[in-house]
Amino acid sequence: MNAIILTAAWGVIMMFGGVFFKSKATPKYWAIVGILLAIAAVFAEIGYGESYFNVDLKGLLHFNSFNLTFIAVAYICTLFFFLLNGSDIEKVGNHVSEYFALIFFVLCGVAIAATYSSLLTLFIGIEILSIPLYILTGSDKRNLKSNEAALKYFLMGSFSTGIMLMGIAFVYGGNSSGTFLVANMGIGQGQLPVLIAVGLVLLLVAMSFKVSAAPFHFWTPDVYDGAPTVFTSFMSTIVKAAGFMAFLRLFDNVFGAAHSQWITLVAIITAATLFIGNITAVFQQSVKRMLAYSSIAQAGFMMLAIFAINDTAKEGIVLYTAAYSLATIGIFAILIKMNDYTVEGFNGFGKAYPLPAVAATVFLLSLTGIPLTAGFQSKFFMLMAALKNGQHTWLIIFAVLCAAVSAYYYFRVIQAIWFKEATTATSVADPAVFTAAFKTMLVITVVLILALGLFPECITNWLHY
Amino acid sequence: MFGNYITIPHLLIFIPLVTGLLAFFVKQEKLVKGWALCSSLVTLLVAIAGICYSKNEALSGYAYSYEWMKYMGASFAVILDGTGRLLTLLTAIAFPVIFIATGRYSYKSAPAYFGLMLLAQAGLMGVFVAADALLFYFFWELALIPVYFLCSRWGGEKRIQATFKFFVYTFAGSLLMLVGIIYVYLHTAATPSADHSFSLYSFYTATLSVKEQNALFWLFFIAFAIKMPVFPFHTWQPLAYEQSPTSVTMVLSGVMVKMGLFAVIRWLLPVFPEAAARFDNIVIGLSVVGIVYASLIAIRQDDLKRLVAYSSIAHIGLMCAALFTAKEVAAAGVMIQMFNHGINIIGLWIAIDLLEKQFAVRQISQLGGVAHKAPVLTILVVIIAFANIALPLTNAFVGEFMMFAGLFSFNIWYTVVAGISIILAAVYTLNMLQKVFYGETNTLTAATTEIALSEKLALAAIVVMIFVLGIYPQPLLDLTKESVSLLLTRFK
């Protein structure tokens, strides 16, 4: 509860603060303070069960160690996002504090989507999550691509919202107890009633859209490519992970008992997502677009958690959130500083800026899933969860072969960084952008990724509080 | 001897790891060279100490173990059995020899080069001592990453494609193995702190049905077959050997391919003995085809590096075939041959490197008459080349003889076909010697100079090992005797 109220309130503070902030740099510090407060509050709730707000929730929200840990991880990743990208958010436009306010509203949505225990709060959470994002996508107002992306995202997003609502209506109408509350839904193991089955498929489609799983991924590359790069970084990591969290909890708590009836459907979606994401990423010339497709590919791996639905899957999704978000935020933070977003733009980067180049390499290795990085552990947990499930072993083999394909496009960037000489006379990046503070943050991020790669239990143990 | 906290296997991993990381921060080239050499010599001392002092634990018995991922049942467990001691010793010998033999040359960004070399050594050591499947997987991949960077940064013209092919090939194989590891793990018994365990012992006692064993066998075998490489998974190898800087080729062919064989001995055969026995004919058949195929191609090679690369495929193929015969004499032969092959091939690479550095070509057709001006080099190389053909009195003879003896009692026809490779090996090796070292000098080789003292020492050390182990192989046999008999109690 702490998280929801604090982030919502802080969003309002940031919004009105815009009137009073003199300098463009001020909102960043306020935002960092806000997120630190939120993190502290979440930890207080995990560790000591300390909730500062006693509200009668009527069973609409449910807090346990699993979803609180997820919120904590998502907020910590946001902290890293602020610290690495804070000054780049200032460059997007003039309304800096509004951008931060919108991000805080998204964070409020993240918390609701992670803790809902009624289909109504699920819907509200997903909407609070999405609407500020439509605005952020279009925040580069003079850029045609940004406008196009925002409109596309908004249209497609509203469409999927409609489908989700319809799904919720079917599930509501179909369950015998006539309730929105997840706990009382009582969907059993037997043959699903037609209404419930239709609702399930509609919800599956809507959630697949939100997490950009194939074949509902078509908006992703355009939106991620068109949005200002800082916000792409935020959207493709924390927000997507929250989508998965809602997805996982929906299919675990509501439809969990009927697992065997929808598992094949999810397996097909997973395979399609892995295949399309990985294969299309291979052909991209722009690193930003490549990362957009790679985020679809990574979503395929996260789909394995939905496919498996067990305790390891829960640990896996939290770990995946941390690993994938940190690495992606890191690589985007470096990408923003580059003069040229194509793969060739990275030529000679290693020679010019060794430290950021080492960091970029670690991020890419983590995304590939090389041992010693957090990326390996998260993939490892996902594979373990999927294998524990015991069905559709072909999917797991397929997933690891796709992971091998992913090495191709991540390593192309590594090759450009280290093994190719800069071809053009212009420098790869302006030396001034790599400040000491930025470098320090990169080092901290790298250390965190390696630490999670060695000791993933420092996160997964929180789940067992 | 160091108590239970830091033991010899730990030192073997951590000395190169720590010194390798520190090497990145040494700025002067001379200093970093000395640093790397010292580090590798210390590791060598530790490896020798490992042979002398370590207790003779049985494979399934006592392991030095730390908790790592407690609730997953993974631990930082290491053991040093006979096979492990043999291969850690090989690794520990290989690196100083490589550093000495290539010490004269300067590398661009030397700190990174030596740092990565030492990290590769740490990874290799880890593979040879790991007694926990997840730990094994970690090191298996970690040995690859530094080598990838070494080849791509310091290699030949087509290095980027060549190394990338090599990387993707092995990475795909290892991921399949990872699926296999997790699957076996889910069928192991519970431990006090976790539902399942990754330890070597619980892998040996995992309950797997026949069908599961069959499928898992191939998941593991493909990963190992790519690494060795066994025909038809060998296509990455000649190009990678050719394009890598020679010092890295030495690591790759001398030590790294042994990872594949070692993994078969430590993991594949004992964990899936029944499946291995069921598929023995397929594996031996593939290996034998590979032996003849690679030998034939080697005859046609003009590039020295490619010639040795193909000859290496043939040798490794024979070892793989011998392993699957489940005969004691063959298994013992494989053990010592892993060591001997590593020594011999590093010697050959050093010789090729010296020629290449002097003449800037590797084509046999462009060389000739080197013996007139460089007799010492010639004598040393001829001896190493003889070891490559497995002439009696050289170390390779003992191993090959034992492996053929085992293969003979398994199936005579395999022996007949694989035996052709002995003749073919003589053809390509002697042909190479004749054309490169004897005959008339040409304009290129007229100005040949003799090699430097450090290089003489490096080659001489290898020649001494060739003779000593050729005449008196008993120490190596004693070292691995226990491992062999343990292997054969599980895999019949």
* Residue range A15-62, pLDDT digits in tens: 998 888 888 888 889 999 999 999 999 988 888 777 777 778 888 888
H or E element: which one contains A128?
A: helix A119-137
* Res. A246: pLDDT tops 90: yes
Alpha carbons A354 and A410: distance in angstroms, whole number: 18
**3-state class of B80 per DSSP?**
coil
Measured between its terminal Cα atoms, the distance across chain B in Å is: 36
CA distances from A77 to A32, A448, B106 (A): 12, 11, 44
**3-state class of B432 per DSSP?**
helix
Q: How far is A380 from chain B (nearest CA, A)?
A: 8
Alpha carbons B397 and B387: distance in angstroms, whole number: 7
Q: Do A419 and B153 touch (CB under 8 A)?
A: yes
Res. A445 pLDDT band, cuts 50 70 90: very high
Question: How much is the mean pLDDT over chain B?
Answer: 85
Question: Sign of the CA dihedral A374, A415, A435, A139?
Answer: negative
Using an 8 Å CB-CB cutoff, list chain A residues near B164: 411, 415
In the predicted model, what is the mean pLDDT of residues A207-231? 90
Alpha carbons A440 and A447: distance in angstroms, whole number: 11
* Res. B59: pLDDT tops 50: no
Instruction: Report long-range pairs for B142-147 (Cβ below 8 Å, ≥24 apart).
Output: B142/A371, B142/A372, B143/B256, B143/B259, B144/B170, B144/B171, B144/B174, B145/A365, B145/A370, B145/B119, B146/B116, B146/B117, B146/B119, B146/B120, B147/B116, B147/B120, B147/B248, B147/B251, B147/B252, B147/B256
* Res. B58: pLDDT tops 50: no
The per-residue pLDDT for A74 is 94
In the predicted model, what is the mean pLDDT of residues A341-361? 87
H or E element: which one contains B286?
A: helix B280-299
Alpha carbons B163 and B165: distance in angstroms, whole number: 5
* Res. A359: pLDDT tops 60: yes
Q: Do A407 and B178 touch (CB under 8 A)?
A: no
Q: How many CA atoms lie within 13 A of B363 on its CB side?
A: 4
Q: How many CB atoms lie within 10 A of CB B423?
A: 10
The per-residue pLDDT for B277 is 86
**Picking from A42-51, A61-70, A254-263, A407-416, which range would have the lowest pLDDT averaged per residue?**
A42-51
Res. A465 pLDDT band, cuts 50 70 90: low
Residue by residue, DSSP assigns A201-217 as: HHHHHHHHHHTT-TTS-
Output the six-digit token pair for B323. 């392993």
The per-residue pLDDT for B242 is 82
Percent of chain B with pLDDT over 70: 96
Alpha carbons A332 and A237: distance in angstroms, whole number: 11
Max mean pLDDT among A323-332, A341-350, A428-437 falls in A323-332
* Res. A431: pLDDT tops 80: no
**3-state class of A429 per DSSP?**
strand
In the predicted model, what is the mean pLDDT of residues B249-271? 89
* Res. B103: pLDDT tops 80: no
Alpha carbons B97 and B305: distance in angstroms, whole number: 19
Percent of chain B with pLDDT over 90: 10
Output the six-digit token pair for A311. 């305790």
The per-residue pLDDT for B54 is 59
CA of residue B5 relative to chain centroid, distance:
29
**Picking from A59-68, B262-271, B479-488, which range would have the lowest pLDDT averaged per residue?**
B479-488
Res. A433 pLDDT band, cuts 50 70 90: confident
Q: Do B71 and A396 touch (CB under 8 A)?
A: no
Interface test mutation site (partner A, options B69, B144, B185, max chain A beta carbons within 10 A)? B69
The per-residue pLDDT for A426 is 61
In the predicted model, what is the mean pLDDT of residues A431-446? 88
Using an 8 Å CB-CB cutoff, list chain A residues near B21: none
- What residues have CB less than 8 Å from B6, skipping those under 6 apart? none
> Residue B397 pairs with which residues in a beta bridge?
none
CA distances from B195 to B77, B190, B191 (A): 18, 4, 6
Q: What is the pLDDT of residues B21-51, one digit of tens each?
A: 888 888 888 888 888 888 999 989 888 888 8
The per-residue pLDDT for A427 is 66
Q: How far is A351 from chain B (nearest CA, A)?
A: 10
The per-residue pLDDT for B52 is 77
Percent of chain A with pLDDT over 70: 99
In the predicted model, what is the mean pLDDT of residues A119-128? 92
Max mean pLDDT among A172-181, A246-255, A432-441, B96-105 falls in A246-255
In the predicted model, what is the mean pLDDT of residues B479-491? 83
* Res. B430: pLDDT tops 60: yes
> What does the buried/exposed string (b/e) look like for A111-130 if buried means 16 or more CB atoms within 10 Å of the residue's CB?
bbbbbbbbbebbbbbbbbbb
Question: Sign of the CA dihedral A224, A229, A231, A237?
Answer: positive
* Res. B61: pLDDT tops 60: no
* Res. B297: pLDDT tops 60: yes
A183 vs B137: which has the higher pLDDT: B137
The per-residue pLDDT for B70 is 76
The per-residue pLDDT for B178 is 92
Alpha helices in B57-132 (DSSP H): 82-101, 110-129
Q: Do A419 and B152 touch (CB under 8 A)?
A: yes
Q: What is the pLDDT of residues A163-200, one digit of tens each?
A: 999 999 999 988 888 788 888 887 878 788 889 999 99
What ipTM does this complex have? 0.90
Res. B447 pLDDT band, cuts 50 70 90: confident
The per-residue pLDDT for A274 is 93
Alpha carbons B325 and A283: distance in angstroms, whole number: 46
Reading phi first (left if > 0) and then psi (alpha if -120 to 50, else beta), residue B184 is in alpha
**3-state class of A272 per DSSP?**
helix
Using an 8 Å CB-CB cutoff, list chain A residues near B183: 387
Q: How far is B424 from chain A (nearest CA, A)?
A: 37
**Picking from A228-237, B70-79, B284-293, which range would have the lowest pLDDT averaged per residue?**
B70-79
CA distances from B360 to B101, B293, B352, B372, B417 (A): 17, 29, 11, 19, 38
* Res. A100: pLDDT tops 80: yes
Nearest in space to B103 (alpha carbons), one of B38, B55, B9, B151:
B38
* Residue of B137, B160, B175 lying closest to A404 (CB–CB): B175
Using an 8 Å CB-CB cutoff, list chain A residues near B182: 380, 383-384, 387
* Res. A10: pLDDT tops 50: yes
Interface test mutation site (partner B, options A282, A312, A388, A454, max chain B beta carbons within 10 A)? A388
Q: Tell me which residue has tokens 């590594």.
A: A414
The per-residue pLDDT for B194 is 78
* Residue of A365, A388, A404 lying closest to B168 (CB–CB): A404
* Residue of A384, A396, A411 lying closest to B164 (CB–CB): A411
Using an 8 Å CB-CB cutoff, list chain B residues near A388: 186
User: Could you tell me which chain B residue has the CA closest to the CA of A464?
Assistant: B71
Q: Tell me which residue has tokens 């042909």.
A: B431
Nearest in space to A30 (alpha carbons), one of A100, A133, A87, A116:
A100
CB B257 within 8 A of CB B122: no
* Res. A462: pLDDT tops 60: yes
Cα angle, residue A122 at apex, residues A118 and A128 outer, rounded to 5°: 140
CA distances from B357 to B339, B349, B375 (A): 27, 12, 17
Q: How far is B175 from chain A (nearest CA, A)?
A: 6
CB A95 within 8 A of CB A52: no
CB B390 within 8 A of CB B397: yes
A358 touches chain B (CB under 8 A): no
The per-residue pLDDT for A17 is 87
Q: Do B152 and A418 touch (CB under 8 A)?
A: yes
Nearest in space to A369 (alpha carbons), one of A393, A343, A404:
A404
Nearest in space to B107 (alpha carbons), one of B39, B36, B47:
B36
The per-residue pLDDT for A51 is 78
Strand ranges for A102-192 from DSSP E: none
Q: How far is B30 from chain A (nearest CA, A)?
A: 21
Residue by residue, DSSP assigns A6-21 as: HHHHHHHHHHHHHHH-
Q: How far is B229 from chain A (nearest CA, A)?
A: 19
- What residues have CB less than 8 Å from B218, skipping those under 6 apart? none
The per-residue pLDDT for A383 is 92
The per-residue pLDDT for B64 is 64
Cis peptide, bond prior to residue A215, ω within 30 of zero: yes
